Every structure is written in C-alpha cells, then in structure tokens.
Amino acid sequence: MTVSEAKTSLKALQEKMSAYGHALGLLYYDGVTSAPRGTAANRGQTMGVLSEELYKLTTGQETVALLEFLDGHKDELDEKEQRMVFLLLKNIRQMQKIPMDEYIAHEKLVVEAEDAWHTAKESSDFPLFEPYLEKLFADARRFAGYCAPDKDPYDYWLNEFEEGLNREKADAFFAALRSHIVPLLQKVCAAPQVDTSILQGHFPEAQQDVLSRRLMAVMGLDPDHVGLATTEHPFTTSLGSHLDERITTHYYEDDFASSLYSVIHEGGHALYDTGSDDSLAYTVLDGGVSMGIHESQSRFYENLLGRSRAFCEYLFPVLAEIFPDQMAGHSAGELYKALNKAEPSLIRTEADELTYCLHVLVRYELEKAVMAGALAVHDLPAAWNRLYKEYLGVDVPDDRHGVLQDSHWAGGAIGYFPSYALGSAYGAQFLRKMKETVDVDDCLRRGDFKPINDWNRQHIWQYGCLYRPGQLFEMAAGEPFDPSVFAAYLEEKFSDLYGL
C-alpha cells in the first residue's frame, strides 16, 4: 500500500461511515417525524443491523491497518488528513476496549431505557425508570474504566463531550457562575415583575409555521439544504453531510415564544453544521466539533442575538404582521422585556437565560455524585428536589417536573449537561470579539444576519472538527476561556432590564 492509495482508502472509508450515519440518522428522524406508531421494533431491527455493520467497518482489521499505516506516515499527510486519522484512531482505540457484546447490549439498553423513560415521565413513576438508570450509570462507569482506566470515570465522560473538560474545570466554572447568578436572581425576584401579556393569546399553528419559515430565512438558513418538521422535542440533525440538515420544532397554540426560540436555537445548530467547508463533506471533520461549541452557537442565536433588545426591535413588526390582532396595542419594548422575564422555574428547557445555568448546575452535581458513588440512583429524586430548592428556590411537585424531565440520561448521555452551560458562556466571549468588527446591534435591528454569519463562518463554522474545541475557542475568541465575561454580560443585561 502506498501513501497515495491509503489516502484514497481513507476517503472511501469516511464516505462509507457517512452513508451509514445518514441511514441511521434518517431512521431516527423518520421515527420521530413520520413513521406510524407501531413501527419502532421494525426500525430497531434495521438500526441494529446497520449499527453492527458500522461498528465492524469502523473497528475492523482492514480499517485499523489502514489508519496505523497512515499514522506512521503523518509527515506525508496534510493537516486535515492528520486530524482525520487522529480522530478515527482515537475512536477505534476506545471502541476496541469495549467488548462488542457489551457495546451491543448497551445499545439495546438505551432503546429500552428511552422507552421506559417515556412511560415513567408520563406517569411520574421514577421507580419504573430506576433499574434502567442504574444500568446506564453502571455502563458509563464500566465503559470509562475500559477506555481510560487511569482516569476518573466522570472526568472521562466530561472530556468525551467537551475535549479538555474535567471536574476541576467544571467546578471552577460553575462556582464562578453561581456566585454571580444566585445573588443577581435574588435581586431580580425582589424587583417589580415584567408584564408578559404580549406573549398571551391564541397563535394558530399555521401562522406559527409562517413565522418559523420567516425566521429561518432571516437567519440565513438555505431552504434548499435545511428542512423543518415538527416533533415532540425539537432537535437538529445532519443527514449524510452538512448538505442536508433538518431542524424540528413543536407548536403550542397558546405560546408562540416556545417554537420561536426552538427555531432560532435549532437554527443556530444548523447554521454551524451547514457552515462547514464543503471539502469536509463525507469526512469525520464535517459538522460541529463538540457539544460545547455547538451549544455556543445555538444559544448564541437564541439568547445573545435572539433575546437582544435590537433583535426584538426587528422582530416586533414581523410578529405584528403575522399576528396582527394579538400584537395590537403592544410594542417592541414590551416584547423585549416579556421575552426576558427571569424567574426560578422547574423545567430546564423553558428556563430563561439567567437561571438556565442553575438548572444545568443541578444536573452536573448529581451526575458527579452518582458517578463517584456518593449518591445512589435510588436517591436521585430526593437530591434533585433538594438542589432545586437550594439553587432556584422552587418546590418540585413530582418527578415528571423533576428528575424525569430530560431524556439525556435515558439516552446514555452522562456528562453531557455541562456543555449547555459552557456553550452559553463561550458565546459571550464570541460576541464581545465579534463586536470589535461587526455592528451586531445594527445588523439585528435590520434583520441582516449576513455579517454575523460571515464572522461565525470565518472564525468557527468553516473548520468543522479540524481543531480541538479549546483551540478553536481561543482562535475565535482571541483569548482564553473566562466565565466572568458571561457573568458580566448577564449582570449588565438583567440589571438594565429590571432597573437594578
């Protein structure tokens, strides 16, 4: 095998991986958008077969030999090829450490756990979900042990979801946020409350759909490559490559703001993915590099841009056009205040920008404790309720509105939550840097996202997974990560909003 032949094989390997990924992603997408209700087992059968084929392809002898050969000829590879080989080998070396039967059993467990979680959430029945969650935490500990025996298991998973993150950094990060947010929230709660009547009324689904498509166009999402569908829980997925991106939303006819911000949030993910350089399509470098950077983009569009005073000035006339009766007698200023009402609440996904990180903090502390063996899965509901009282001051009425609200653990994603908070904080530094060269507020007032998107594309999106998240962050932000920038942003915004 020559290096040139090996490079051709490297390309073909990644094209195959992308194809299986496309099929698996589409099977999932179909299941939550269009499939008849009774077809999950049939889809599971196919996903099982294709996952196994993908596993064999990714970790097979031929692939390992190819990658090790290329790794031995690093100096003849360009920067992109080096990174491809690094990422593929890293993945293989981890996969090889997990016995295949345990890997398959885990995949099966996740399917069953998600099913059990759905039922448990509906009936607020934690004991039904508990045995699955026990096994999921056990798998997380055991798999971490296989992959990084010298590392703390939770540190292993934090690093998996955000390369470079560990408990020490996360502890410091959350402590910094907490010390700012908790007293700020107390002041906000003591201040006169904002009027949210502008958000109330009946907003028919058909008009909300018009609003969604309008927002997608304003944000610069290309309708030829980004689709919109409705699902129970909004999400974003790339199918095959960044050339086919799908976002979803959920319409509530008594609450247009819910879908409005789902579309902007998922649209931010989609902008990031579709912004990859076209040369990265069908390679492992295509799309976003990490959950933290991904959330930095989605929450950047959702909050830093989408909930800004300037964007509300653009948004209000659009809403007034689509919902003339409902917006009559209201103003852009009211809209801005109403969309930023901060208050302690129960549900993470509905939380405002200020309290959001406290919701994440609760999950971080609980995951950390369970992974360390300091907290039993059985005791999670009580611990959850205690921390919500302590950090947010709210009483959790039942597990449906408490420990069962999120699907992440059911999906086996332990160590994922911190990336949401990190992403929010990353965004504040990106915004500060962007404002050095782009008049962001002026763009938002005019509904012109092009200069903003161009900046993000140039500094973040185009690179896909070429750089490590921390490296990419510093390249784009022009400075090391510093959570106090986000804390200061919140302090300024909410002090102004509430006249503190």
* Contacting range for a copy of itself; rule: CB under 8 A; set: 48-56, 104-112, 153-161, 310-318: 48-56
Q: Is 39 in the site for a copy of itself (CB under 8 A)?
A: yes
For the window 268-307, what string marks contact with a copy of itself as x by the rule CB under 8 A? -------------xx-------------------------
Closest among 68, 73, 86, 131 to 410, alpha carbons compared? 131
* Contacting range for a copy of itself; rule: CB under 8 A; set: 45-53, 156-164, 377-385, 477-485: 45-53
Nearer to a copy of itself, 253 or 442 (CB): 253
Nearer to a copy of itself, 63 or 355 (CB): 63
**Residue tagged 């998240």 (tokens):** 469
Cα gap 471→477, rounded to integer Å:
10
Do 144 and 156 touch, CB atoms closer than 8 A? yes
Beta bridge partners of 246: 227, 237
Cα gap 77→85, rounded to integer Å:
9
Considering just the CA atoms, what is the radius of gyration of the chain in Å? 23
Q: Is 479 in the site for a copy of itself (CB under 8 A)?
A: no
Cα gap 57→105, rounded to integer Å:
19
Catalytic residue among 266, 334, 353, 365: 266
Nearer to a copy of itself, 229 or 394 (CB): 229
Beta bridge partners of 248: 229
Is 474 tagged catalytic? no
Can you tell me which of 41, 190, 328, 374 binds a copy of itself, judged by CB under 8 A? 41
Site for a copy of itself in 222-261 (CB under 8 A): 222-227, 229, 239-241, 243-246
Closest among 271, 274, 335 to 301, alpha carbons compared? 271
Which one-letter DSSP state was computed for residue 150? T
Q: Inter-axis angle of helices 153-161 and 418-434, to 10 degrees?
A: 40
Q: Is 22 in the site for a copy of itself (CB under 8 A)?
A: yes
Do 461 and 336 touch, CB atoms closer than 8 A? no
Nearer to a copy of itself, 12 or 189 (CB): 12
Q: Is 104 in the site for a copy of itself (CB under 8 A)?
A: no
Do 376 and 206 touch, CB atoms closer than 8 A? no
Can you tell me which of 8, 33, 193, 279 binds a copy of itself, judged by CB under 8 A? 33
Nearer to a copy of itself, 238 or 308 (CB): 238
Cα gap 4→237, rounded to integer Å:
33
Q: How far is the CB of 66 from a copy of itself (least distance, A)?
A: 17
Nearer to a copy of itself, 168 or 278 (CB): 278
Q: Binding residues for a copy of itself, how many (CB under 8 A)? A: 43
* Residue 253 amino acid letter: E
Can you tell me which of 1, 2, 8, 42 binds a copy of itself, judged by CB under 8 A? 42
Six token digits for residue 418: 């911190």
* Contacting range for a copy of itself; rule: CB under 8 A; set: 28-36, 192-200, 294-302, 377-385: 28-36
Q: How far is the CB of 204 from a copy of itself (least distance, A)?
A: 13
Closest among 470, 464, 381 to 128, alpha carbons compared? 381
Strands (E) located in 106-262: 226-230, 236-239, 241-249
Please identify every residue annotated as catalytic. Answer: 266
List interacting residues with a copy of itself (CB under 8 A).
15-16, 18-20, 22-23, 26-27, 29-30, 33-39, 41-43, 45-46, 48-50, 53, 222-227, 229, 239-241, 243-246, 281-282
